[in-house]
Amino acid sequence: MLSETWIRRTEFGSVATFKNINLLCHLHTMRLYWFQVRPSKAREGDKRGPNVDGGTSFGGRRICTPESLALGYGPRPAVCRPPTAVEMPSRRSSWHYHPSTFLAMTFLTGVPGFLGTRLLRRLAAAAPDRSFLLLVQPKFEGRTHTLLADRGLADRATVLPGDITEPDLGLGAHYDAVAEQITRAVHLAAVYDLTIPREVGWEVNVEGTRHVLDLLAQCPSLERFGYVSSAYVSGERTGTIHEDELVHEAGFKNFYEETKYHAEVLVQDRMDEIPTLVFRPGIVVGDSETGATDKFDGVYFVLNALRRLPRYTPMTRIGSGTEPVNLVPVDFVVDAMGHLLGTGGHAGTVFHLTDPRPLTAQAIMELLADLLDKRVAYVPVPSGLARAMMKTGVGRALGLAPELIDYFDHPSHYDASNTRAALDGTGIDCPVLPDYAPAMVAYARRHDARSSAMY
């Protein structure tokens, strides 16, 4: 949904519009009128280029509201009725912000991804009067529209085709209009892959975050910004990791960690100008009640390997087996972020969304084996040797990634004092793995056939 301020009149007598965007005009009578605008073909000689959906440029059309007519914009009132779109006068003008038509608007990246989709649903349920601008890669437009329709959110969310790797986020001439609409923002979009090349991770995770920050710095009505980082920006640090700690020289296990670290450095460097909450989740797994997920990686690789083994079998125990592995169910992460974003305050605060009572690597493997009715005899193997074995046909046959070992044999603990204090009394708490592992395993087994990402 976009208000009247989304319409820009230019000296060419045309208007910047997105294809099939619903424009919401909030009239003084408090009645809502919906308009559908379709762009016309670009004029010959128009130097402004195509819009973000490709193929068409700025349509010479305009939607009228009583407010705009009162200010002298557009034709006579007789034609200002839904869903009429009329040609507007050809004269120079600029963006206009009218408080009477302004709506609470959240800008969100990361949809239709696993975490982004869940967070969108949570935010929409918590604030029925809030609308959403979803920056989505063009290749995911169709999937996103289907998702919105299925969830009953099509009338509350506008899909903006774009790309965080572009300096203007792919918004082109609509950049300033988007900035004026935003009152809250959440940046989730990132490459989540422990094997990513550094160049790819840097372009998406670091430069993409920089471009989002640049947009938010131009938002005159921004109330708060949620940035989704990772607990593993701590890299190779050991011991207790506190929320107010970031900068270190301990190194990183992979380029995912490194690029997320540098992205958070950018975010924290601009906290003085952008009211920011930083969220650092642990290893996110399925819903604690249903087990639902569409992201079968991480611990699911271990689960899948156990499923492929005979009922009675020896299996390597990676490292000492005594180090904690921080798994968190997606519903806890989403509920915590939704609550913290929906309440006042907390600007400049970092939150570890981690399990305060994590199981050890050995305990996790034993728990999963029991749920799969496996009887496993564990053989201790040094992490270096286990990593080398996983690079062979054995690892590939079991569906295990060598990069996973680092997270099952690293002595670190994530203090979550800020999170506990902020969520105290809300009933939002990270459940312990034994309570939700049965749902996680059952869901993974039911969806085995269609989830090629598990293998």
What is the tens place of the pLDDT at every residue in 273-310? 999 999 999 999 999 999 999 888 888 988 888 888 88
- Do both 113 and 23 map to the same domain? no
Q: Are residue 72 and residue 141 in the same domain, yes or no?
A: no
Match 């940035």 to its residue by tokens. 227
Looking at the predicted structure, is the pLDDT value of residue 115 above 80? yes
Q: Which of 46, 74, 96 is the last residue of a domain?
A: 96
If asked whether residues 51 and 130 sit together in one domain, one would say no
Q: Which of 281, 315, 346 delimits the end of a domain?
A: 281
Residue 27 lies inside a defined structural domain of this protein: yes
Residue 241 domain-assigned (yes or no): yes
The pLDDT tens digits of the residues spanning 303-316 come to: 888 888 888 877 77
The alpha helices in 323-360, defined as continuous H runs, are 330-342
In this structure, are 41 and 145 located in the same domain? Answer: no
- Find the mean pLDDT for residues 158-164: 97
* Percent of the chain with pLDDT strictly greater than 70: 70
Residues 123, 253, single domain; the answer is yes
Q: Is residue 213 part of a domain?
A: yes
Length of the chain, in residues = 455
Final residue in a domain of this structure, among 222, 249, 281 = 281
Highest mean pLDDT range out of 36-50, 218-232, 316-330?
A: 218-232
211 within 8 A of 187, measured Cβ to Cβ: no
Same structural domain for residues 92 and 109?
A: no
On whether both 74 and 143 belong to a single domain, the answer is no
Q: At residue 22, does pLDDT exceed 80?
A: no
Dump pLDDT digits (tens) for 167-201: 999 999 999 999 999 999 999 999 998 889 999 99
Determine the structural domain holding residue 109 and report its residue range: 104-281
390 and 308 part of one domain: yes
Confirm if 251 and 279 have CB atoms less than 8 A apart: no
Share of the chain above pLDDT 90, in %: 59
In a domain, 332, yes or no: no
Same domain, 261 and 112: yes
Within-domain flag for 341: no
pLDDT digits (tens, 9 = 90+) for 217-253: 999 999 999 999 999 999 999 999 999 999 999 999 9
| pLDDT tens, residue by residue, 365-374 | 999 999 999 9
Instruction: With a cut of 90, say whether residue 125 has pLDDT above it.
Output: yes
Are residue 162 and residue 20 in the same domain, yes or no? no
Q: Given pLDDT bands bounded at 50, 70 and 90, which one contains residue 80?
A: very low
Is 268 domain-assigned?
yes
Which residue would you say has higher pLDDT here, 446 or 404?
A: 446
With tokens 């193929």, the residue in question is 55
**Mean pLDDT, the chain, integer:** 78
CATH number of the domain that residue 234 is part of: 3.40.50.720
Predicted confidence at residue 393, as pLDDT, reads 55
CATH of the domain at 405: 3.90.25
| Cα–Cα separations (whole angstroms), residue 180 to 174, 227, 330, 334 | 10, 20, 32, 27
The answer to the question of residue 141 being in a domain is yes
Whether residue 440 contacts residue 432, with contact meaning beta carbons closer than 8 Å, is answered with no
Global pTM? Answer: 0.76
pLDDT at 409 over 50: yes
Same-domain check for residues 374 and 299: yes
**Model confidence at 71: pLDDT above 70:** no
Of 105-114, 123-132, 365-374, 389-398, give the lowest mean pLDDT range. Answer: 389-398
Instruction: Tell me the mean pLDDT in the region 376-393.
Output: 68
The DSSP bridge partners found for residue 316 are 379
Query: Looking at the structure, do residues 322 and 234 belong to the same domain, yes or no?
Result: no
Q: What is the 3-state secondary structure (H, E, C) of the chain?
A: CECHHHCCECCCCCECCCCCEEEEEECCCCCEEEEEECCCCCCCCCCCCCCCCCCCCCCCCECCCHHHHHCCCCCCHHHCCCCCCECCCCCCCCCCCCHHHCCCEEEEECCCCHHHHHHHHHHHHHCCCCEEEEEECHHHHHHHHHHHHHCCCCCCEEEEECCCCCCCCCCHHHHHHHHHHCCEEEECCCCCCCCCCHHHHHHHHHHHHHHHHHHHCCCCCCCEEEEECCHHHHCCCCEEECCCCCCCCCCCCCHHHHHHHHHHHHHHHCCCCCCEEEEEECEEECCCCCCCCCCCCCHHHHHHHHHHCCCEEEEEEECCCCCECCEEEHHHHHHHHHHHHHCCCCCCEEEEECCCCCCEHHHHHHHHHHHCCCEEEEEEECHHHHHHHHCCHHHHHHCCCHHHHHHCCCCEEECCHHHHHHHCCCCCCCCCHHHHHHHHHHHHHHCCCCCHHHC
Q: Is residue 339 part of a domain?
A: no
> Considering just the CA atoms, what is the radius of gyration of the chain in Å?
25
Q: Which residues of 328-364 are buried (b: 16+ CB within 10 A; e: fewer)?
A: bbbbbbbbbbbbbbeeeebeebbbbbbbbebbebbbb
Q: Which letter does DSSP use for residue 113 in this model?
A: S
Q: What total of structural domains would you count in the chain?
A: 3
